[in-house]
Every structure is written in structure tokens, then in C-alpha cells.
Amino acid sequence: MSETMEEVKREILSGYPAKVARRREKQMVVNGKAESGEPPEILANTRTLPGVITQRGCTYAGCKGVVVGPTRDILQITHGPIGCGFYSWLTRRNQSRTREGEDNFMPYALSTDLQDNDIVFGGEKKLRKAIREAYDLFRPKAIAIFATCPVGLIGDDIHAAARDLSAELGITVFAMSCEGYKGVSQSAGHHIANNAVFTHVVGKNDASPEGEFKVNLLGEYNIGGDAFELERMLEELGVTLVTTFSGNSTFVSMGQAPFADVNMVMCHRSINYMAEMMEAKYGIPWFKVNFIGAAATAKALKHLAEYFGDPALSARTEELIARESAAVEAELARLRPRLEGKSVIMYVGGSRAHHYQELFKELGMKVLSAGYEFAHRDDYEGRRVIPGIKIDADSRNIEQLEVGPDPERYAPRKDKAGLEDLKGRGLPVDDYAGMMADMDDGSLVIDDVNHYETERLIELLKPDLVCAGIKEKYVVQKRGIPLKQLHSYDYGGPYAGFKGAINFYREIDRLVNGSVWKKIRAPWESSPELIGSYGSD
Ligand code: CFM
């Protein structure tokens, strides 16, 4: 198969001018563990070539939309022209459940609505006025300010405004210089948000949560209710979820994060900075989990029980897994025969293109090709490559916080020997092995896939299903191939945990075995072809 994939790759690259082909070649890799047993190197986290229709989003999207956005009681103000605020208004399906007496500002979109005049004469005064106005209206515990592109260009000092207003109002006000152009993708925005939340929110609440086993869940954003499903399981196990970063979270719960015994990291890409900083400052270790897929969920829960090493917790965990797996098995027995051998290609974000492969494996489906939009080499090849990653001007642009042990609160939860022992038993402590290790040799791994490549891949690989997002959806479906959105879940979900797995199996069966796709005729199949040429030809 690797030979055919090399051919597929060559064929796609042949459509490019030589310079573009040379660059894209490094971002399209046929997977194989070769002699070393390690996956091949891929080029990632670099600028998208001008003119290419990428799937990526901007730094502001990663900061506001992804990491800080789901925290319901932080009032969030976009400093910029109205478009950025408007288009990030409730567009990501991060759900939240407000409890009695709590604030929920998520339905609102607040923006300073910068005008030409502000661009010329400066928008800082307007921002200060907006913060005061928002405070008077909502009386929040915390306000977060997000900069959009023009703000960085005109040089408004949003951090000075935040400091002054924090002192004036007596609440937490913090700002993030997350201008859209700050990085090569939304990934830079994740890092900026991690830094700000770690500095201004984490550890700012001294009320210790109750519970024998306390955990934080990092990199889970409660899309389609995924986090609700995980909360349910943890509660049944008697494990206290101190906070999630940041699905269904609050300013209050994030403030308590340092009380946790361990951090479980779901989406490594968006939150690994937070995991590392919390370990350095408070001594909380982290391990990688994947709650997408029934087997992966069982593994993650077992790892959690092993971390605590408590026999009663282990017994409860085994019971829960046995109980919930029965329903999963029954559904698989029904649906696997209908899906076995079908193929899928998937290009999503910075973690789901990996996580969702578990569910397809359970269905007996084959992942021919997969890729991330904006992940880094470690998300593909594993964290062992981090020391060798070249720091370029774009990544140097993003502040790397220097974090050391907190003089009062640093308390290693496990000693070195304890952590080594856990690693020896297969717990991915402080580690992520990346996507390629889990993919077949000969599958095609693509970073920052673009529109042209997606079309060519469909023609050449003829997959039964494509997984991507809204930008790709209708182009693919008009060709008579179902597309499952793995960002928004197409208004479905949850897909995490055991119950989520069942939801997903059913959805995939509905899509792949639906008869509607065969009835689709693209307009060009019945209309005469139009042929044109350039005047210069
Ligand atoms: Fe992490 Fe995410 Fe993802 Fe992501 Fe995103 Fe997302 Fe995503 Mo869309 S934090 S990297 S920046 S798992 S919004 S909830 S689905 S691209 S794969």
C-alpha cells in the first residue's frame, strides 16, 4: 500500500508549481516505522502558502473561540471591528450548564466595535469605556479582553487598560494580545490563552474542593456535551472533577485547579502548556487520555484508577467499564458488519484526526489518510521530537512563560520513582506518543491539507466517508460522499465515553449506508462543460 500512497502523493504534487510542490512534499508523508521503529518526520506549524485555500483559523480564534470562550462566567470583550466578535458568537458548540447563583455570559458577544476614527486616533479610550460599561451592566467576577488584528497594528496598550481597570473595579481584568496574525494558525492563540489563564485565573481561589480523588480534565471543551458524559462517569466513580479546561468551566473552578492530584490531558495541542506549567509550579503530574472510543475510554479510566492505586476505586472502575461496555458490544455486533472494510479520510484541527481513529477501528473501518490543520510535530510524531523542533520567527513570537516551583504551594504528588513505576505500567505520564504511532504503515499523513488536495484525495482514494469541517462539507457532499463534521459534530453528540461511542457508530452507519448519496447528481454531470482560456494563452 505504501507504494500506491507514494503514487497518490506524487500525483497530487504534480499539480503544483515546483516550488510549492517542494514545500508541500514535506507536509505529506507516507507513514512507516521503517528501520528505526519511529515515524518519519513531517513539516508542521509553519505558514500556509499564500493563495492556498487552507482549513486553518486565526490566532484570535484559538485564544477566544477555543480556550477561553467556554468559561461561562468570564465576561469576554473583543477589542476590534465588529466582524471578529460577531463571527465568534456562539459558533463553536461548547455547551455549559449554569448552576444556581452562577453567571453565564456565553450567549453574549461583546465588542468595542472599532471604527475608522479609532484606527486613526487609537482605540484604548474606547476599550476602557467598554470595560466600565460592561462591568456596570453585568457585574462579573472577571473580564477578559481579546485583541484582533488592527489593535496590534495601531498599538493600543490593552494590558495597561486591563491593569488599570482591574485596580479601579476591584475584579480580575486581563488582556490577551491574540491578534489573528500573531501566529501561523489558531495554535498560537491556544498558547497565548494558556499563559493568560495560568497567570490570572489558576490558583486564585483558595477554597479547596471536597473529595478523596481530585482531578482536572485538560483540553476538553464540551463540544456536543462530551464533557457532560465524562463528568457523569467520574461522578459515578467517586472522583471529584475540580475543573475542566475549559468545557463547562467557570472562573471559580479554574481558580481551584491547583488542588487536583493529577491532570488528565485530552487535547494535547491546545493545552499542553498548561499541563507543563501546573506541574512545574504545583507539582501536579499529567497523563494523556483519549475518551473518544470505547476501548480508549476504558483504558483512560483504568489509568486513572492505577494512578491513585486505590483498590475500591479500581473495583468501581472495572464495574463501570463492564456495565457500559455491554451496551457498546451489542451495538457493535449490529453495526460492525454493515461498516467493516469501509474507508475514511480525516483532516481535523490538532487532536481529533487522531482521537477519532479509535472509533473507526472499532467499526472495522480503514483510515487511509489523516492530518491535522495546525498541530505541531509532537502531535504527529510524539513528544520525544520536541527537543529537536526548530524554533522559527513565528513561534518565537509567542511568549514562553518561565515557571518555577511555587514557594508555598509546590508539592509533588508523586516522587520520581512513583512516576517511573506508573510509566512502567503503561501510563503515558508527561507524554504523548502522537498520531502516527497509531496509524497503519502506508497511510498518508498530511499537515495543513488544502482544498485542492482534498479534491484530489477524494478522486484518487475514493473514500466512503470524509471527516472534516464546515468549510469542506458541502463541496464533498455535492460529490455524493458523506462528510461528518468532527468540529461541530453536525449538531450531534456527545461522542465521548461509552454512550458517545454508541452515538457515533449509529451516526456513521446512517451516513455511510444512507441511500441518498447515490442519488446525487452534480450539475456538471448533466450540463455541458464550459471551457475557457486566458487571454494571454
Ligand atoms: Fe483541541 Fe478542540 Fe481539536 Fe482544537 Fe479546534 Fe475543536 Fe478541533 Mo475545531 S481544542 S485541537 S482548535 S480538540 S475548535 S474542540 S474541533 S479545530 S481537532
Q: Is 422 helix (H, G, I), strand (E, B) or coil?
A: helix
pLDDT of residue 58: 97
What's the burial of 136, exposed, middle or buried (CB within 10 Å: 0-12/13-18/19+)?
exposed
Residue 462, C-beta contacts closer than 8 angstroms, at least 6 positions apart: 343
Q: For ligand 1, say whether the CB of 428 is within 6 Å of any of its atoms.
A: no
Q: How many Å apart are CA 407 and CA 388, to the nearest integer?
A: 32
Cβ atoms of 63 and 178 within 8 Å: the answer is yes
* Residue with CA at minimum distance from ligand 1 atom 10: 350
Q: 444: which 3 cell numbers? A: 498518508
Cβ atoms of 163 and 171 within 8 Å: the answer is no
Any idea how long the chain is? 537
pLDDT of residue 59: 98
Q: For ligand 1, say whether the CB of 61 is within 6 Å of any of its atoms.
A: no
Cβ atoms of 272 and 187 within 8 Å: the answer is no
Cβ atoms of 27 and 453 within 8 Å: the answer is no
Task: Report the candidate in 229, 255, 236, 222 with the shortest Cα–Cα distance to residue 305.
Answer: 236
**Ligand 1 atom with minimal separation from the 190 CA:** 11
Q: How confident is the model at residue 2 (pLDDT cuts 50, 70, 90)?
A: low
pLDDT of residue 1: 55
pLDDT of residue 533: 82
pLDDT of residue 35: 74
**Ligand 1 atom with minimal separation from the 375 CA:** 10
pLDDT of residue 37: 84
pLDDT of residue 190: 98
Q: How many Å apart are CA 51 and CA 58, to the nearest integer?
A: 16
pLDDT digits (tens, 9 = 90+) for 396-420: 999 999 999 999 999 999 999 999 9
Q: How many Å apart are CA 219 and CA 134, to the nearest integer?
A: 29
| C-alpha of residue 429 to centroid of ligand 1, in Å | 22
Kindly state the helix (H) or strand (E) to which residue 218 belongs, with its residue range: strand 213-220
Cβ atoms of 376 and 450 within 8 Å: the answer is no
List the domains of the chain with CATH numbers. Answer: 59-200 (3.40.50.1980), 213-339+386-424 (3.40.50.1980)
Cβ atoms of 220 and 351 within 8 Å: the answer is no
Q: How confident is the model at residue 170 (pLDDT cuts 50, 70, 90)?
A: very high
Mean per-residue pLDDT of the chain: 96
What's the burial of 85, exposed, middle or buried (CB within 10 Å: 0-12/13-18/19+)?
buried
pLDDT of residue 534: 82
Q: How many Å apart are CA 245 and CA 219, to the nearest integer?
A: 6
Q: What is the biggest distance separating any 2 CA atoms in the chain, rounded to whole angstroms?
A: 78
Residue 342 has pLDDT above 70, yes or no: yes
Cβ atoms of 156 and 147 within 8 Å: the answer is yes
What type of residue is 78? Answer: T
pLDDT digits (tens, 9 = 90+) for 438-467: 999 999 999 999 999 999 999 999 999 999
* Residue with CA at minimum distance from ligand 1 atom 8: 487
Cis previous bond, 17, omega within 30: no
| C-alpha of residue 129 to centroid of ligand 1, in Å | 33
pLDDT digits (tens, 9 = 90+) for 481-531: 999 999 999 999 999 999 999 999 999 999 999 999 988 887 777 776 777
Q: Would you put residue 536 in left (φ > 0), alpha (ψ -120 to 50) or beta?
A: alpha
Give the mean model confidence (pLDDT) for residues 14-31: 97
pLDDT digits (tens, 9 = 90+) for 218-271: 999 999 999 999 999 999 999 999 999 999 999 999 999 999 999 999 999 999
Positions annotated as catalytic residues are 58, 61, 92, 190
Give the mean model confidence (pLDDT) for residues 44-52: 95
To the nearest 10 degrees (0 to 180), the angle between helices 2-13 and 18-25 is 150
Q: 263: which 3 cell numbers? A: 491532570
Q: How many Å apart are CA 240 and CA 81, to the nearest integer?
A: 42
Cα–Cα distance list, 510 to 214, 448, 465 (Å): 39, 29, 11
* Residue with CA at minimum distance from ligand 1 atom 14: 221
Q: How many Å apart are CA 430 and CA 165, to the nearest integer?
A: 38
Which of 270, 271, 273, 470 has most ligand 1 atoms within 8 Å of its beta carbon, as the pocket-test mutant?
Answer: 270
Q: CA geometry: angle at 448 spanning 442 and 451, to 5°?
A: 95
Q: How many Å apart are CA 380 and CA 293, to the nearest integer?
A: 19
pLDDT of residue 522: 72
Q: What is the pTM of this model?
A: 0.96
Residue 515 DSSP code = S
**Ligand 1 atom with minimal separation from the 348 CA:** 17
Task: Report the candidate in 242, 234, 229, 220 with the shortest Cα–Cα distance to residue 320.
Answer: 234
Q: 510: which 3 cell numbers? A: 446512517
Q: How many Å apart are CA 193 and CA 146, to the nearest integer?
A: 10
Q: How confident is the model at residue 118 (pLDDT cuts 50, 70, 90)?
A: very high
Beta strand pairing status for 444-446 and 28-30?
Answer: antiparallel
* Residue with CA at minimum distance from ligand 1 atom 1: 267
**Ligand 1 atom with minimal separation from the 488 CA:** 15
